[in-house]
Amino acid sequence: MSDTPTDFPEEDVSKSIPNSPETHETSLPTVGETDAPQEPTRPSWTPAGEQVFASSPLVNDAPDDIVRGASPSFADEAPLSSQIRKSRTLWSTRLSLLLVAALVGGLAGHFASSSTGSNNGVTVNEVSASPGAAILPNGMSIPKLVVKVLPSIVSIDVKGSGGEDQGTGMIITSAGLVVTNNHVIAAAVQGGTITVTRSGSTKAEPATLVGTNPVDDVALIRINGASNLPVVTFGNSNALVAGDAVVAIGNALGLAAGTPTVTQGIVSALGRTVTAGTSTASETLNNMIQTDAAINPGNSGGPLLDSSGDVIGMNTAVAGTLANGETSQNIGFAIPVATIESLLTTLKAGESVVNHGAFIGVEIESMTPSLQQQYGFKVTSGAVVMSTISGTGAAAAGVRQGDVIVAINKTSITSAQDVSAVISSLKPGDVITLHVVRGTQHLALKVTLGRTPAG
């Protein structure tokens, strides 16, 4: 499946890319060092809220026609110079999760407190100076970053099928296209209603569903009759490394539409593969960003920002409780913007992806120049197998860690998202020919697809 350039002739999507590539050496396993299929860690997670699908994979290069640089509303913001940083670990640990999708199901509870009193003649020390702003590593203050980004963030309310869900969205074009999680708008697919409230406003505006992708948990809606709206700027999620500073924004707990919550943290890990779902269905999602920035129900669809205020991910889910009863702490997941960007063309065309539940049994990450350089891969594109799940069709066929998937049947594969798109169109029991590059070998492996495992 070849990358298709995003084409929005009448609308702008902003994109900023670091100025220079990054190279660093780390002490990591050699490709092909582990040949045997690996059994995944499968803790059981008890969510603290409604359970819904989380997100998906990818690390594609930005389409050429995406405008790079600051968003139109903030043209005076100078981009940061790029910094040399350590590269990330190739092989990710599989997490089989029942994630708390960052979505508020039903009306959120309201929490408030008040107190009254007088000084009763007591003298206290006071100052009139403003509190000091939190500062990010590059010198940008978080309040300044929030002021820059907030106008392009919306709270989303969806009513349908007797229920109500709330989440967040990001305005990506001046004509009102908004990207969010598919699970945020799922209740409206069968005839429900969607309204959005822009940050700083109390007015709920009607919106129309444009395209859905439940496989990758991404959807596109349009604010009816909108024009000249401020837009977010997409950053470079391919350049992220663990430890990068991030800020998450979203309609946490649905407490007050139009007044998003702001939290701060770092990138905890990259390339995570998770299994997320409801009690009736589940989805394996690749190449997720893990962060310790607080993500709560209602944050779904909101931005995960880098220290320049550019969007590098979409907040999607948070882990709950381990199988042994221990509660996880500060483990949230976001979809890289590279994944989102690769889906915009089909979403804008109104296409909807149907998942038939087929499962190949590999955890993958898109090939990048840094991965190729670090591990000596002989190909420049494809999906790198980070691990093979025992008991699956891939394991039975002999797929190994370090293999690079370059084609499935006669469809070329350039990214992890390509693999998901092809497999989602197939059914359990289908037999595919998986073309992989292993060192200098080109192999064709017959894989019988299984069924997506329950969370």
pLDDT digits (tens, 9 = 90+) for 269-296: 888 877 665 444 566 677 889 999 988 8
- Res 267 pLDDT > 90: yes
- Res 441 pLDDT > 90: yes
- Which of these CATH numbers, 3.40.50.720, 2.40.170.20, 2.40.50.100, 2.30.42.10, describes 358-451? 2.30.42.10
217 labelled catalytic: yes
Q: What is the pLDDT of residue 108?
A: 34
Cα(234)–Cα(78) distance, rounded to whole angstroms?
15
3-state secondary structure of 252: helix
- Res 69 pLDDT > 50: no
183 labelled catalytic: yes
Q: Do the domains 358-451 and 38-75+90-106+135-348 match in fold? A: no
Q: Take residue 207 and report the two structure tokens written for it.
A: 């919106």
Q: What is the pLDDT of residue 199?
A: 84
Q: Take residue 171 and report the two structure tokens written for it.
A: 């305005």
Q: pLDDT class for 321, splitting at 50, 70, 90?
A: low
Tell me the mean pLDDT in the region 355-374. Answer: 83
**Among the ranges given (82-86, 154-158, 253-257), the one the predictor scored with the smallest mean pLDDT:** 82-86
- Res 425 pLDDT > 70: yes
pLDDT, tens digit (0-9, with 9 covering 90-100), for 376-392: 998 999 999 988 989 99
Q: pLDDT class for 16, splitting at 50, 70, 90?
A: very low
pLDDT, tens digit (0-9, with 9 covering 90-100), for 143-162: 888 889 999 999 999 988 76
82 labelled catalytic: no
- Res 408 pLDDT > 90: yes
- Which of these CATH numbers, 3.30.300.30, 2.40.10.120, 3.40.50.720, 1.10.3720.10, describes 38-75+90-106+135-348? 2.40.10.120
- Please state the pTM of the whole predicted model: 0.66
Q: What is the pLDDT of residue 283?
A: 63
**Among the ranges given (89-93, 117-121, 291-295, 405-409), the one the predictor scored with the smallest mean pLDDT:** 89-93
- Res 229 pLDDT > 70: yes
Q: What kind and span of H or E run contains 420? A: helix 416-424
- Res 66 pLDDT > 70: no
Catalytic residue (choose from 61, 157, 165, 217): 217
Catalytic residue (choose from 282, 300, 366, 381): 300
Catalytic residue (choose from 183, 268, 387, 424): 183
- Res 96 pLDDT > 60: no
Q: What kind and span of H or E run contains 444? A: strand 441-448
Q: What is the mean pLDDT of the chain?
A: 74
* Boundaries of every domain in the chain: 38-75+90-106+135-348, 358-451
Q: What is the pLDDT of residue 93?
A: 44
In sign, the C-alpha dihedral spanning 95, 405, 417, 15 is: positive
- Res 432 pLDDT > 50: yes
Cα(136)–Cα(153) distance, rounded to whole angstroms?
21
Cα(332)–Cα(310) distance, rounded to whole angstroms?
19
Cα(396)–Cα(37) distance, rounded to whole angstroms?
9
Q: pLDDT class for 100, splitting at 50, 70, 90?
A: low
For residues 408 and 65, the model is more confident at 408
Q: What is the pLDDT of residue 323?
A: 60
Contact call for residues 31 and 190 (beta carbons, < 8 A): no
Q: Take residue 442 and report the two structure tokens written for it.
A: 């080109």
pLDDT, tens digit (0-9, with 9 covering 90-100), for 161-178: 767 888 999 999 999 999
- Res 302 pLDDT > 60: yes
Q: What is the pLDDT of residue 274?
A: 75
Contact call for residues 339 and 347 (beta carbons, < 8 A): no
3-state secondary structure of 185: helix
The CA distances from residue 141 to 135, 200, 259, 331, 431, in Å, are 4, 20, 19, 24, 53
Rounded percentage of the chain residues whose pLDDT exceeds 70: 66
Q: What is the pLDDT of residue 230?
A: 95
**Among the ranges given (119-123, 140-144, 189-193), the one the predictor scored with the smallest mean pLDDT:** 119-123
**Among the ranges given (127-141, 234-248, 377-391), the one the predictor scored with the smallest mean pLDDT:** 127-141
Q: What is the pLDDT of residue 358?
A: 85
Q: What is the pLDDT of residue 74?
A: 31
